[in-house]
Every structure is written in structure tokens, then in C-alpha cells.
């Protein structure tokens, strides 16, 4: 029987074009989707854009757009093109301004109020909000000089009447789920971070804004819009057919694996499971957080302007080389600084010399000894059996497993790359 595999990337803010950090996550998802299709699984690969955020509104203004939707349409098209240039095979591209998503978010909100009426309540919020993170923060999230640790700028002070979600009511249930499902948050270091956050810092969160005009309106409260993260996370359900296509939803959910970068770990590993618990919906199979691509030791960020665009690399080296380099270099449990000289060295050593020469010699031998026809394989020799673990990219035959382990899969799919050249 064929397996099911639903893999997602984050949906990306469109306040600027994609950088290689976004490309890395999406390429990793594409590799997994391609591999699972080769294995015969039913695959659904989702990516898209997060368009209901204050940072997008600010970017539209800076770009001279009075009509925010026109700006979002233009930028979403650029993101689609970036993924086309990288030859990605996503089955869907979701935008949070689409009507299907607006309806799913409204239904989700109403369902939580119906099923868990005490979990959404009105209250006064007074605190700090980082527009770069699109997240309410505490002083524990800031540097000694009061700046966001990710975006190097101070958060806004906000005081307004908001709707809140009773996150704290699910503390013990979430800890129990994480302990009983060790593969739920990967790698292990990320799981430990999440457990520590839940035990020490988890509290109710504001899930609406009054001072932001752009977004999905709160049902029965048109003066408020739904907080971007409470809205955005629901995209994984929207695309699966939540409350719109029961057959599709039963087929796709919960066979979901979320690939993310480590800076959005809390929203995915704390907010999202709790939201699903509130409705009694099944949890995703795994939430897998990788490290950052940095530039000169600093996290790549569109707001900081220190980004490397994949399209520039594709123009110079081609899509295959970009895909190869990004996945070959970055380990899931650490950060790595981008260096174009390193890229060029890997390109020359691995692709031009090693694999390029191998391909040339194999093709030449097939032409010389087999009249240009690939011969039928014989029984493997002992030496060939020893090489099998190093040839997964060319012959993807991983052993079956009873549990999901996405970092293990990606490591297996790329382990034949790591022995050629040591990481710098």
C-alpha cells in the first residue's frame, strides 16, 4: 500500500524577494517530495506566501503602492517565479489573501469558540511587538540594549484591547505529547528548547490587533483583525481541505511534516499544536527546524539587507548547482555562513570534477563497450554493496521505517556528498 506524505514549508512574507534561507527550506522539502514520489508514495508538497502582516503593509508603502493588494499580487508572482527558477515541484502555492484561506480562518476561529468557549477571550494587551518577527515579545527576547535579537531594532510599545487565546491551559497536555512522541520536534536540541519555553515562559497570547487595518477580520468583531500567526498557521489546514473538502482533508491530514527555520520554532511547536488541541484535530507528524544561513556571522534578514538571492546564483551557476550546494553544506543542527568562493570551489570540485568526470567516463564506456545502450545490471559484488549507502541520490532505496524522521531522510539523501570535501 502506498504511503502518504504531506510536506510543507513556511509561508513567506512578501516584503521582499526570496533569499537563500527561504530557498534552502523549500529545496529540502522538494528533495523529500521527489524522493517520496520515486518511492511510490502519494505526495502533497505545499509552499506559499504570508500576506496579512504589518511588514508587508510597510513594504507596500515604501514601494509606492497605494493599493496593498496590487503590491502583494506583484510580489507573490515574483516568489512563484523564484521557485520555478529553482525547478521546485510543489503541488500547491497558497496565499493567505485567497478567499479559500479567509474562509478557513473564520471557520477555525468560530470552531474554537464553539468547542472550547473559554479559550478565546477579550482582554487588555500592553506590551512589546516586533514588526520584524510579527510577534509579541518580552524583555527575555531582547538584547541588553533593547533590540530584537533577530532584527536588531527595538519593538513597538502597544496598548490595545485584543482577543486572547488561552495557551496556558494546554501546558501539561503539550508537554505530555512531546514526551510521548520524541520525533514530533526535530532535531533533539530544538525539542529541548521547546520544552524549556513551555515550562518557563508559556502564557496566553494575543490573537488580534486593533491598530492594524490589513488582515482577516475577527468574526463578529470587524474592528479587529486576526493576529498574523494565528491566521498564517491555519494555511496548512486550508490547503488540505479543512471544512471545505472532507475527502481531501481525510486523505492529507495528519500526514504532515512541517519544515521550518529555527526562528519560527515557538509559533510552530507551541502555538500551532495548542491550536490543534483546542479543536481536537490530529497533530502533524513532525516539526523539523533547521539552522540559519548567515552572512558574515549575522542571520540573513530582508529587513537587515544582508541577503543572498538565489536567482542571482541561478543566473551564474544554474539551478542544479544552487540546489546541490545549499543542501550539501548546511547541517540541520547548526548555522552556516554563506561564501560565494566556497560555492565556486564546491561547484568545481564536486560537480565539474568528481560527478562531471564520472558521468563523462560512464557515458564514454557505455558507448565504447555496449554500443551506446545501458546494460542490464548483474548481481552486485561485495564492493558494490559497500558503495550502496553512498549512492542514495542516484539510486534512492532507503530502508522502510515505522516512524517519520525527516532530518534522517535528508541526511541519507545527501550523505554521499559529505565525504568529498570537509566543511569550512
Catalytic residues: 19, 22, 130, 133, 148, 151, 299, 302
Q: Which of 136, 113, 204 is nearest to 166 (CA)?
A: 204
47's grid cell? 509552499
DSSP tag of 374:
P
**Secondary structure element (H or E) that encloses residue 93, with its range:** strand 92-95
Residue 42 and residue 5 in contact, taking contact as beta carbons nearer than 8 Å: yes
Instruction: Give the per-residue SS3 of 264-295.
Output: HHHHHHHHHHHHHHHHCCCCCCEEEEECCEEE
DSSP of 366-420, one letter per residue?
A: HHHHSTT-PPPP-PPPHHHHHHGGG-TTTS--PPP-SS--HHHHHHHHHHHHHTT
Position of cell 510552530? Answer: 268
Residue 256 and residue 236 in contact, taking contact as beta carbons nearer than 8 Å: yes
Beta strand 135-137 pairing with 221-226: unpaired
Q: Would you call 158 helix, strand, or coil by DSSP?
A: strand
Amino acid at each position: 500500500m502506498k504511503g502518504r506524505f504531506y510536506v510543507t514549508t513556511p509561508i513567506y512574507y512578501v516584503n521582499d524577494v526570496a533569499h537563500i534561507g527561504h530557498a534552502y527550506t523549500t529545496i529540502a522539502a522538494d528533495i523529500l517530495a521527489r524522493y517520496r514520489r520515486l518511492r511510490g508514495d502519494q505526495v502533497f508538497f505545499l509552499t506559499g506566501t504570508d500576506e496579512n502582516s504589518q511588514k508587508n503593509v510597510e513594504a507596500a508603502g515604501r514601494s509606492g503602492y497605494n493599493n496593498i493588494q496590487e503590491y502583494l499580487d506583484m510580489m507573490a508572482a515574483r516568489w512563484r517565479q523564484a521557485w520555478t527558477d529553482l525547478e521546485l515541484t510543489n503541488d500547491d502555492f497558497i496565499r493567505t489573501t485567497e478567499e479559500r484561506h479567509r474562509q478557513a480562518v473564520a471557520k477555525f476561529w468560530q470552531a474554537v469558540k464553539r468547542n472550547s468557549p473559554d479559550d478565546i477571550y477579550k482582554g487588555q494587551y500592553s506590551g512589546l511587538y516586533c514588526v520584524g518577527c510579527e510577534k509579541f515579545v518580552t524583555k527575555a527576547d531582547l538584547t541588553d540594549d533593547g533590540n530584537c535579537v533577530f532584527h536588531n531594532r527595538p519593538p513597538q510599545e502597544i496598548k490595545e484591547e485584543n482577543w486572547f487565546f488561552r495557551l496556558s491551559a494546554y501546558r501539561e497536555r503539550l508537554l505530555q505529547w512531546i514526551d510521548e512522541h520524541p520525533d514530533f520536534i526535530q532535531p533533539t536540541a530544538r525539542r529541548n528548547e521547546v520544552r524549556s519555553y513551555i515550562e518557563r515562559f508559556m502564557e496566553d497570547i494575543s490573537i488580534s490587533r486593533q491598530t492594524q487595518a490589513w488582515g482577516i477580520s475577527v468574526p463578529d468583531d470587524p474592528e479587529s483583525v486576526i493576529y498574523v500567526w494565528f491566521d498564517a498557521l491555519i494555511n496548512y489546514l486550508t490547503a488540505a481541505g479543512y471544512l471545505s473538502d472532507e475527502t481531501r482533508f481525510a486523505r492529507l491530514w495528519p500526514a504532515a511534516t512541517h519544515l521550518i527555520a529555527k526562528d519560527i520554532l515557538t509559533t510552530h511547536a507551541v502555538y500551532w499544536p495548542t491550536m490543534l488541541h483546542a479543536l481536537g484535530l490530529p497533530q502533524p507528524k513532525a516539526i523539523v527546524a533547521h539552522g540559519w544561513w548567515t552572512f558574515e556571522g549575522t542571520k540573513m534578514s530582508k529587513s537587515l539587507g544582508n541577503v543572498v538571492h538565489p536567482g542571482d546564483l541561478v543566473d551564474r551557476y544554474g539551478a542544479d548547482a544552487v540546489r546541490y550546494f545549499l543542501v550539501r553544506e548546511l547541517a540541520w543542527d547548526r548555522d552556516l555562513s554563506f561564501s560565494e568562493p566556497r560555492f565556486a570551489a564546491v561547484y568545481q570540485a564536486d560537480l565539474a570534477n568528481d560527478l562531471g568526470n564520472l558521468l563523462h567516463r560512464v557515458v564514454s564506456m557505455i558507448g565504447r563497450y555496449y554500443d551506446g545502450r545501458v546494460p542490464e545490471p548483474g548481481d552486485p559484488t561485495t564492493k558494490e554493496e559497500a558503495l550502496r549507502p553512498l549512492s542514495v541520490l542516484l539510486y534512492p532505496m532507503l530502508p522502510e521505517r515505522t516512524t517519520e524522521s525527516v532530518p534522517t531522510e535528508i541526511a541519507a539523501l545527501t550523505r554521499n556528498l559529505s565525504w568529498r570535501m570537509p566543511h569550512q
